[in-house]
Amino acid sequence: MELEDEIRIAAPRVKVYEGLNDPEILKQCIPGCDELIKHSDTELEAKVVLKIGPVKAKFGGNVILDPINPPEKFSLSGEGSGGIAGFAKGGADVELVEDGDETILRYTAKADVGGKIAQLGSRLVVSTSKKLAGQFFEKFAEALNEQT
């Protein structure tokens, strides 16, 4: 599965980059996030409850951040397991482009899923992933605006 999108955020690039590296902001923006622990500047551990179609599961996983050219570009990769519900692993490349006082965030994400989740069909998994990404970025933009 591959997702691409571009989101305009009403904040300077440095602020957007800092927000994407702030565990407290991320925790409140990630749909279903119960816990987010920052082990280092590049390693995070998350516990998230997700519902995809009829399957609801608690996923635990790790995310590795790779700052390629901060604050312009970075990538992340991770994997998580939801027990009997299945697993997910993948990554994303993120680019932050300054546009006046705003930032254009572009991302390309790839993921593989297995287990019961994979049996649900790619259309449901892709549509749910797009919905979750949309919810994340909407909450993220709100959280950045609240800091101003």
Domain 2-147 has CATH 3.40.228.10: no
pLDDT tens-digit readout, 76-112 = 899 999 988 889 899 999 999 999 999 999 999 998 8
pLDDT tens-digit readout, 36-80 = 999 998 999 999 998 888 888 899 999 999 988 899 999 989 999
For residue 75, the model assigns a pLDDT of 92
Helices within 4-115 (DSSP H only): 13-20, 23-29
pTM for this predicted structure: 0.86
DSSP E strand stretches across the chain: 2-9, 33-38, 43-52, 55-69, 73-81, 87-99, 102-114
In the chain, where are the structural domains located?
Answer: 2-147
**How many Å apart are CA 125 and CA 134, to the nearest integer?**
14
**How many Å apart are CA 84 and CA 87, to the nearest integer?**
9
For residue 28, the model assigns a pLDDT of 93
61 sits in which H/E element: strand 55-69
For residue 148, the model assigns a pLDDT of 58
